């Protein structure tokens, strides 16, 4: 029996208007249903907030904000919001129904796509984001799960207006690891969200489309976040040799760690994408990625009979299908073959037939047909939300074996019931093959411990022992907390967070010290003065010319008056004395010529005219004779008669 039949909303009419026909997907914040607008007689997607969250004003506000934000974006590549309302404990959005798949579905099955297909997908995404950016909105959560590809090949962007909380971003579930993979450095470090964070995410998505791999990976979200902050996104050609340099440049521009170097919004990046496309040859655009080359074989044992079908019939996801990453919800139908967006009219459509054929070959279907079971294969039965015992019974009844049973924490799936299967429900599988089950342990949350006053290493060990991850470390001066010990955590002690969440630590630099001025002093005297202040001393290997006498301190870093912590190092640069410059002979020259020549050599010039030289213009004498040397910057007096 389909699990949609167990959903209390299926079959009901919300607000006297929307008849709920089937559940499409379920996420941490809402469930999406396929519904019929009985007034306008049209199919749409109904996103309904979980009743347990509807009592939280902040969640409802966020939900309604999404509706208002997207409703103002009238763009063909944005999933439209038609209506927003409440019915008892249900808060809902009525949205455009997109029968198709997500870009994540394509990448999961295909790995990488051809450059032409990647650009054909990226361009409408940037057009949608560009409209949002020019309207004053930032998406904040661009990723393949939020790129929908319809049956007709149109590309649409979903889940505008969402604002992610810190604990959502740092959760250790695989789904959220997908989310942190697209965060810009300034989002992580400062919480900054302007259009350039969407530009960065689109650059990461382009890298993933071209290579089939996320640019940064790690065993924990903290590792991924660290790489975003400290490592550049590698060029796609490093993973797929032969990719054109223009695509490497495009990814590098969009994913620059310094936001000031990136295109300022999606419209600017779209211009760069079109320039890159024009720079590529047809062969470069249609080059197959390495994975596709092995996907075009013909296995006789996999052949099955085919029957025609209409491409206009809505094909909803199984009601038990789980949502993609990030807590948002999608409303696409899983395709047998994710379509590649149509090529714009400026290029012949036949140029992308190889792209479509390659993707369809991987999914094992052709245009306008679907495969039926030939007898050697069966499908994984719907098992989500079933108990472990029920799931095992269903697998055996379907002629399949129970494989490994894994267990994982989950905030929305009841303890003891199935979170996911591998292969997924509905997937085609050989008779008697095994299916891996993942069983929910229920939600897991942890109290952030009080670490104030603990040394950093001990605090980090305590976090790991409590099931949390040490996050970013910032340092501040403190009069009360010893140097190297924790001042506070973010979030603060006592807050409950999901296990594996990263906890930021603020560590004491100790009491501040005003760096004394030691320029012009002997090295020994300068060293003693700085040491007495609690600072360390380093002497620069190179000496410099300066106004200070030879061997004296010419410069220090940091400068005097700067606040430093106990144990910080001050670097001293010693003087070689002033630079000695040969003085030109200007006797007999005019005043202007003499002044120009002396100043060109780095000297100051002083005129001595006396009574006899008031109206003269010829240099009769100079204080340092021509050919002798004088310190650079010193004053040469010229006597005029």
DSSP secondary structure code for residue 334 in this structure: P
Model confidence at 211, in pLDDT bands (50, 70, 90)?
very high
The two three-digit tokens of residue 208, written as one number? 């993933």
Closest CA to 475 of 454, 506, 517, 496: 506
The average confidence (pLDDT) of the chain is 80
Tens digits of residue pLDDT in 491-530: 999 998 877 778 889 999 888 989 999 999 999 999 999 9
The answer to whether 176 and 325 have CB atoms below 8 angstroms apart is yes
- 164 has a pLDDT exceeding 80: no
**Paired residues of 413 in beta bridges:** none
pLDDT at position 633 is 87
Tens digits of residue pLDDT in 97-139: 988 888 998 999 888 999 999 999 999 999 999 998 988 888 8
Prediction pTM value: 0.47
Model confidence at 413, in pLDDT bands (50, 70, 90)?
confident
Tens digits of residue pLDDT in 464-477: 888 888 888 888 99
- Cα within 13 Å of Cα(620), Cβ side: 10
Closest CA to 603 of 575, 638, 573, 569: 638
Q: Which residue has the higher pLDDT, 367 or 46?
A: 46
pLDDT at position 301 is 30
The two three-digit tokens of residue 503, written as one number? 């906890």
Tens digits of residue pLDDT in 57-96: 777 877 777 677 677 788 899 988 888 888 888 889 899 9
Tens digits of residue pLDDT in 433-481: 899 999 988 777 888 999 999 999 999 999 988 888 888 888 899 989 9
Catalytic hit among 7, 141, 159, 198: 141
Distance CA 111, CA 124 (A): 21
pLDDT at position 613 is 65
DSSP secondary structure code for residue 510 in this structure: -
Model confidence at 350, in pLDDT bands (50, 70, 90)?
very low
Model confidence at 373, in pLDDT bands (50, 70, 90)?
very low
Distance CA 68, CA 41 (A): 24
Model confidence at 207, in pLDDT bands (50, 70, 90)?
very high
Residue 141 is among the residues annotated as catalytic for this protein: yes
Model confidence at 376, in pLDDT bands (50, 70, 90)?
low
Q: Which residue has the higher pLDDT, 534 or 331?
A: 534
Mean pLDDT calculated for residue range 209-231? 90
The two three-digit tokens of residue 223, written as one number? 């590792």
What's the Cα-to-Cα distance from 269 to each of 145, 176, 201, 214, rounded to whole Å?
21, 26, 12, 20
pLDDT at position 68 is 74
Q: Could you give the domains of the chain?
A: 3-95 (3.30.200.20), 100-371 (1.10.510.10), 377-440 (3.30.10.20), 445-508 (3.30.10.20), 512-574 (3.30.10.20), 580-640 (3.30.10.20)
Model confidence at 175, in pLDDT bands (50, 70, 90)?
very low
**Paired residues of 605 in beta bridges:** 636
DSSP secondary structure code for residue 175 in this structure: H
Question: Tokens 């490093």 appear where?
Answer: 238
Beta-carbon contacts of 208 under 8 Å, excluding residues fewer than 6 positions away, are 107, 144, 214, 215
- Please tell me the least confidently modeled range out of 237-241, 354-358, 503-507: 354-358
DSSP secondary structure code for residue 243 in this structure: -
The answer to whether 91 and 47 have CB atoms below 8 angstroms apart is no
Mean pLDDT calculated for residue range 242-252? 94
Distance CA 264, CA 254 (A): 10
Closest CA to 270 of 151, 137, 132: 132
Tens digits of residue pLDDT in 578-597: 889 999 999 999 999 999 99
pLDDT at position 219 is 83
pLDDT at position 291 is 56
């Amino acid at each position: 029996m389909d699990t949609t039949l167990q959903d209390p909303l299926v079959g009901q009419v919300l607000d006297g208007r929307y008849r709920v026909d089937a559940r499409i997907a379920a996420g941490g914040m809402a469930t999406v249903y396929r519904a019929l607008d009985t007034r306008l007689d049209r199919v749409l997607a109904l996103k309904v907030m979980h009743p347990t969250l509807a009592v939280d004003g902040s969640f409802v506000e966020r939900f309604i904000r999404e509706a208002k934000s997207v409703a103002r974006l009238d763009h063909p590549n944005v999933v439209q919001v038609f209506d927003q309302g409440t019915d008892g404990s249900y808060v809902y959005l009525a949205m455009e129904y997109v029968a198709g798949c997500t870009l994540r579905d394509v990448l999961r099955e295909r790995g990488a796509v051809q450059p032409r297909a990647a650009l054909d997908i990226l361009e409408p995404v940037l057009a949608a984001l560009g409209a949002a950016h020019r309207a004053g909105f930032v998406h904040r959560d661009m990723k393949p799960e939020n790129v929908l590809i319809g049956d007709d090949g149109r590309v649409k962007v979903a889940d505008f207006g969402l604002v992610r909380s810190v604990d959502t971003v740092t959760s250790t579930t695989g789904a959220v690891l997908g989310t942190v993979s697209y965060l810009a450095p300034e989002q992580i470090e400062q919480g900054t969200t302007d259009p350039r964070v969407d530009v960065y995410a689109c650059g990461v998505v382009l890298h993933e489309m071209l290579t089939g791999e996320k640019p940064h990976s790690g065993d924990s979200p903290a590792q991924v976040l660290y790489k975003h902050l400290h490592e550049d996104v590698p060029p796609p050609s490093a993973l797929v040799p032969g990719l054109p340099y223009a695509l490497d440049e495009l990814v590098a521009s969009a994913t620059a760690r310094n936001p000031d170097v990136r295109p300022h919004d999606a419209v600017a990046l779209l211009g760069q994408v079109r320039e890159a496309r024009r720079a590529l040859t047809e062969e470069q655009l249609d080059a197959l990625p390495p994975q596709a080359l092995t996907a075009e074989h013909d296995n006789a044992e996999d052949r099955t009979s085919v029957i025609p079908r209409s491409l206009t019939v809505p094909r909803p996801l199984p009601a038990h299908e789980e949502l993609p990453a990030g807590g948002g919800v999608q409303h696409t139908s899983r395709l047998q073959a994710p379509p590649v967006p149509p090529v714009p009219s400026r290029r012949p459509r036949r140029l992308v037939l190889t792209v479509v054929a390659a993707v369809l070959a991987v999914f094992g279907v052709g245009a306008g047909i679907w495969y039926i079971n030939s007898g050697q294969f069966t499908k994984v039965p719907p098992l989500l939300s079933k108990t472990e015992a029920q799931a095992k019974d269903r697998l055996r009844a379907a002629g399949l074996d129970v494989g490994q049973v894994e267990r994982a924490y989950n905030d929305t799936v009841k303890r003891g019931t199935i979170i996911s299967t591998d292969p997924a429900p509905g997937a085609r599988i050989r008779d008697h093959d095994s299916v891996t089950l993942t069983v929910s342990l229920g939600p897991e949350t942890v109290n952030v411990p009080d670490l104030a006053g603990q040394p950093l290493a001990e605090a980090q060990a305590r976090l790991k022992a409590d099931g949390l991850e040490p996050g970013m470390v910032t340092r501040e001066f403190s009069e009360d907390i010893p140097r190297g010990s924790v001042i506070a955590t973010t979030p603060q002690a006592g807050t409950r967070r999901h296990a594996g969440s990263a906890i930021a630590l603020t560590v004491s630099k100790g009491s501040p010290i005003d760096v004394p001025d030691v320029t012009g002093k002997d090295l020994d005297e300068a060293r003693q003065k700085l040491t007495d202040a609690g600072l360390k001393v380093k002497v620069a290997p190179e000496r410099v010319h300066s106004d200070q006498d030879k061997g004296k301190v010419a410069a220090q870093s940091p400068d005097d008056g700067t606040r430093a912590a106990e144990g910080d190092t001050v670097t001293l640069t010693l003087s070689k004395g002033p630079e000695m410059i040969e003085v030109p002979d200007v006797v007999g020259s005019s005043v202007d010529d003499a002044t120009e020549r002396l100043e060109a050599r780095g000297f100051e010039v002083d005129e001595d005219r006396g009574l006899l030289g008031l109206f003269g213009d010829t240099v009769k004498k100079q204080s340092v004779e021509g050919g002798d040397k004088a310190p650079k910057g010193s004053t040469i007096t010229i006597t005029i008669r």
